Amino acid sequence: MGGCLSSSSKKERSKQPIRPIGDSKSKKAQKKSRKKASKIPAMAHSDLTALYKEITGFQTQFNDQSQVWLVLNKAKDFEVMQAMSKKMPDVKELDVQGISEEKNEQVQSFLELYFPNTVGSFEFHYGSPLTSITPFMEGMEVASKKVTTKMRIYNFEIGEQELFDLFIWNKSKDWIGLRECTLSLSEIPNFKSSLKGSTLRILDLSECGSSSHGDWSKNPQEFENLVEGLAISEDFKANLQELWMTNCGFSETQIYQVLKKHGLQHVNIYGAR
C-alpha cells in the first residue's frame, strides 16, 4: 500500500486501591460519549478501501487480516483518519503514530468514536517530545476493550493512576508494552486484587529505565516497586513468562535478583545488557 496507511495478508501504599480515572471529563460526559459511540456503525472494508483511494490515489484492498499504519505526521494519513464518519472496520493490527499536540483532539475522537470493534494488536506512538498520556486516557479505555491480544504504548509520561488503569484495562491480553515511557514509580503500585484473572504473558518495559526516562540504574527502587506491586497478584505471577528490558540500565543478573525476590524467578528476561 502506498505511503504509511498500509496493509498486508518498599514503601507501603494506602490499603485502598487507586481511584478509577475520570478527572479530565465528568462521568456524565463520558456516558454521553460512549452512548454516541455505540450508535456509530462500522464501515465495510470496501468503504475503507474506497476512502483511502479517494484521498491518496492508491488502491489497496483492506480485510480483517490487514495490518494498518496511520502515521499522522503524513498529511494523507491524517486526512484519512479525519474523514472517517463510521468506525474503522476490524483489522489484525493497527499502529497509530506520529501524533503531535495539535492533533490530540482528533486522535482522542478517533479512539473514542471510530476505533475498530475488534483489533488483534494495537500500537500507539506519540511523536516528539515525550508527553503526558492523560489527554488520551478516555480513548485508551475504549480502545483497550477492543484489542484482543497485544497493546503497546510508546513515548509517554505515565502517572501513577494511569499506570494502574492501563494494567487493569489490559490484564486479559497476552502482551502489554510500555516502551520508551517515563513511569511514575516512587511508590509501590497498589494493585491489590485488581489483577485477579490476569493472563498477561509478556511485559515489555524497553527503554523505560534508560537515562532519558526513569534512569533506573540510578533509581533501582522504582523498577522494584513495579515488580513488587505486580507480584501481589498470584495470577500475574503464574502467567507472566517474558520480561523485555532493552536499555533499562540493568544487567540480566540484577533483573533476575529482583524477580526472584518477588517470586518471578521463572520469567525469561530479554534485551538486558
My answer on whether 2 and 134 are in the same domain is yes
Residue 100 placed within a domain: yes
Residue 244 placed within a domain: yes
**What's residue 273's pLDDT?**
85
CA distances from 42 to 117, 129, 199, 264 (A): 8, 33, 29, 42
Residue 116 placed within a domain: yes
Report d(CA 254, CA 224) in Å as an integer: 11
Domain boundary among 128, 157, 186: 157
Residue 16 placed within a domain: no
Domain boundary among 157, 191, 226: 157
Residue 18 placed within a domain: no
**What's residue 125's pLDDT?**
96
Residue 47 placed within a domain: yes
Phi–psi pair at 99, nearest 5 degrees:
-75, 145
Angle between helices 45-56 and 75-83 (to 10 degrees): 140
What residues form DSSP beta bridges with 42?
Answer: 87
CA distances from 6 to 62, 92, 95 (A): 9, 12, 10
Residue type, 173: K
CATH number of the domain bearing residue 94: 3.80.10
Domain boundary among 119, 135, 157: 157
**What's residue 192's pLDDT?**
87
Q: Which of these, 141, 39, 154, 42, lies nearest to 91 by C-alpha position?
A: 42
Residue 217 placed within a domain: yes
Burial 85-124 (b: 16+ CB within 10 A, else e): eebbbbbbbbbbbbbeeebeeebbbbbbbbbbeebbbbbb
Range of the domain at 239: 159-273
**What's residue 20's pLDDT?**
39
My answer on whether 56 and 145 are in the same domain is yes
H/E element holding 167?
helix 160-169
Q: What is the mean pLDDT of each run of 10 residues along the chain (273 residues)?
A: 44 38 51 74 98 95 97 96 98 97 95 98 93 96 98 97 98 98 96 96 98 97 98 98 98 99 98 93
| Residue matched to cell numbers 527503554 | 207
My answer on whether 116 and 180 are in the same domain is no
**What's residue 5's pLDDT?**
60
**What's residue 123's pLDDT?**
98
Residue type, 8: S
